[in-house]
Amino acid sequence: MSEGRWSMERSEELRLIKMAKKGNVDAFGRLYEEVYKDLYRFALFMLKEPHDAEDVVGDTVAAAFEGIRGLRHDEAFRGWIFRILANKSKRVLKHYAERPVFREFDAVAEAEEMQGGHDAGSSGAGQEDILDLRDAFQQLTEEDRLIVGLSFFGGYNSQEIAEMLRKKPGTVRSRQSRALARMRTHLSGSYGI
């Protein structure tokens, strides 16, 4: 695999993974330093709130450290940790939906919108675009969200994603293309394009 977004050599990464699997905290810490920013960007996009993103990244790292001995393929570490993050983010989103405060907030926001509370020139329009994009992203399958997220938030190319997910690069490119097309379709419905 090419170095991609990681600054360390692949051989060093694999050496650290082997050490972390034996319980070496320092080795795991170095792996964490390499992937933290990408994990945080992904979580922030999913959850919208910086403190929630930090919490879910922390939970992800704790779960990864606890479970790294069970990682079957060392070269799949990046995909594995992003899957943990995606699952933990989904749980937080589910919790958001179950909290009455959010339902009340959504009802107030809907009422304001129906009364013309947001004009097209306000910063609310940009926020609405982000929410629409996030909603389109959430409509994707878990694996498609992972592929799109690794590409756009993590900056990984299709070859790197393929190696992380143990798929062919062509499969990753076609899945990403179809996922982006589904997002465009979803967004075109939102904007009447």
Residue 54 maps to a domain: yes
Helix%, strand%, coil% for the chain, nearest 5 = 80, 0, 20
3-state helix/strand/coil string of 60-114: HHHHHHHHHHHCCCHHHHHHHHHHHHHHHHHHHHHHHHHCHHHHHHHHHHHHHHH
Give tens-digit pLDDT for 33-57: 999 998 999 898 888 889 999 999 9
Residue 4 lies in a domain: no
Sign of CA dihedral 183, 185, 187, 189: negative
Is 5 domain-assigned? no
- pLDDT tens readout for residues 121-158: 445 557 787 788 888 888 888 889 889 988 887 778 89
Rounded Cα distance between 151 and 43, Å, is 14
Whether 40 maps to a domain, the answer reads: yes
Residue 3 lies in a domain: no
CATH number at residue 38: 1.10.1740.10
Domain tally for the chain? 1
User: Which residue type occupies 123?
Assistant: S
**Residue 2 within a domain:** no
- Where in the sequence is the domain holding 105, given as residue range(s)? 10-191
Higher per-residue pLDDT: 63 or 1:
63
User: pTM higher than 0.75, yes or no?
Assistant: no
Asked if residue 119 is part of any domain, the answer here is: yes
Report yes or no on 96 lying in a domain: yes
174-to-5, 30, 42, 55, 171 alpha-carbon distances in Å: 22, 33, 21, 33, 5
Do 3 and 9 touch, CB atoms closer than 8 A?
yes
